[in-house]
Amino acid sequence: MEAPVDRQTFEQVMVPNYSPLPMIPVSGRGSRVWDQHGKNYIDFAGGIAVTALGHSHPDLIRTLQQQSEQLWHLSNVWTNEPAILLAQTLCKKTFAERVYFANSGAEANEAAFKLARKYAHDHFGSEKNEIISCINSFHGRTLFTVSVGGQDKYCQGFEPIPGGITHIPFNDIPALRAAVSNNSCAVVIEPIQGEGGIIPAERAFLQSARELCDQHNALLIYDEIQTGVGRTGKLYAYEHTQITPDILTTAKALGCGFPIGAMLCRKEVAAAFTVGSHGSTYGGNPLGCAIANRVLTLIDEPELLAGVTQKHLLFIHELGLLNQKYPLFREFRGQGLLIGCELQPDYQGKARQLLQIAQEEGLMALIAGPNVIRFTPSLIIPDQEILEGLARFGQAMERFLLEC
């Protein structure tokens, strides 16, 4: 009998662009995961803010099974009922009037950036093409989206990268005012920078972006790949401020693990994507759209969204108690169940080391750069599992202090 695959097998057959942790998960239920050896873990990673309803949610399993017995794929030579129904739902629940479907957050952002340039080209001329983005932002790994993202490390070795992109410091209103001009076609903002360290955008910064875009006929784009679909306690984070973008991108939790992304926009803006100007073979496939529509129904409930805020408070309270006992962190920040724990200066650069120890203690977590531990658990994780997971994290904190 052939031996099961292990972490060493990964090195033998996979392109080395990832460096996964040693254990291999094989099953999950709710917010608990088991590895190849039967060890259980509390999941505070959530597939990087993806499994918003936990693992193996029975409603989503049922939806997938039902749709799999009808239609899997058609391509966009035809439309399909699940895609139309999902687009209706997204328009009903948000500011949007039109929807474009993709397979991932990067593809949704690619579409958003292309649409912004096409809209500006059609209405104001080819010279209006500049995209304003923020330092330490992250918008995907295609060549265009990684260029709009404000982290040079992701562009190294892939030059020449697309031009016409300007980066400014996050939450810096004077820099924003200096950057936006009549040649700007779009300003792109994450309501909370994810990969940049879980840093919320200040309301005044968002308001200034909205006003400057209106003044200069530019489009305001919100990248809500990570903050969307209930993560912050609202269906989308823009609802906290009522500052509405022209384009919004969403993915990750939209499919709760099934690959799907979407770009939402106003009708006037959407008109720039004329027939044949952009497309996706798999975008809007019936399987993904059926699941996403069910996800939105389950998550966009007042009780669930209020629970996200309550669970945030529980996390912050318990983390504060742990930090009094094991003083590792200088700050806890974020919103809802997107939480960043920034290490004290003496321990900066060692977030991955703490992550590894946490896994050994039975906790799955994430990092957001070298200095921040990130928690993005299921939105419906029981309070008892939060407490159990944080107890395991406390054990990891204690070990970390002893080993450093």
Cβ count near 397 (within 10 Å): 25
Task: State the amino acid at position 20 in one-letter form.
Answer: P
* pLDDT confidence of residue 3: 58
Residue among 49, 15, 9, 42 at smallest CA distance from 28: 42
Does residue 2 carry a pLDDT above 60? no
Supply the DSSP symbol for 55: B
* pLDDT confidence of residue 27: 97
> pLDDT tens digit string along 236-275?
999 999 999 999 999 999 999 999 999 999 999 999 999 9
* pLDDT confidence of residue 4: 85
3-state secondary structure (DSSP) of residue 238? helix
Q: What is the mean pLDDT of residues 210-228?
A: 98
- Domains annotated on the chain, with CATH: 7-57+302-403 (3.90.1150.10), 70-299 (3.40.640.10)
Give the N- to C-terminal CA distance of the chain in Å, as an integer: 43
* pLDDT confidence of residue 225: 98
3-state secondary structure (DSSP) of residue 211? helix
Q: How far is Cα 63 from Cα 94, in angstroms, rounded to an integer? A: 23
φ, ψ for residue 347 (rounded to 5)? Answer: -115, 5
Does residue 365 carry a pLDDT above 50? yes
3-state secondary structure (DSSP) of residue 134? strand
Does residue 1 carry a pLDDT above 60? no
Contact criterion met (CB below 8 Å) for 342 and 329: yes
* pLDDT confidence of residue 375: 98
Give the mean pLDDT of the chain: 97
* pLDDT confidence of residue 98: 98
Q: What is the pTM of this model?
A: 0.96
> pLDDT tens digit string along 169-194?
999 999 999 999 999 999 999 999 99
Percent with pLDDT over 90 in the chain? 98
> pLDDT tens digit string along 10-61?
999 999 999 999 999 999 999 999 999 999 999 999 999 999 999 999 999 9
Q: Please spell the DSSP secondary structure of 282-307, one letter per residue.
A: STT-HHHHHHHHHHHHHHS-HHHHHH
Residue among 131, 272, 273, 108 at smallest CA distance from 213: 131
Is the alpha carbon torsion for 64, 70, 72, 74 positive or negative? negative
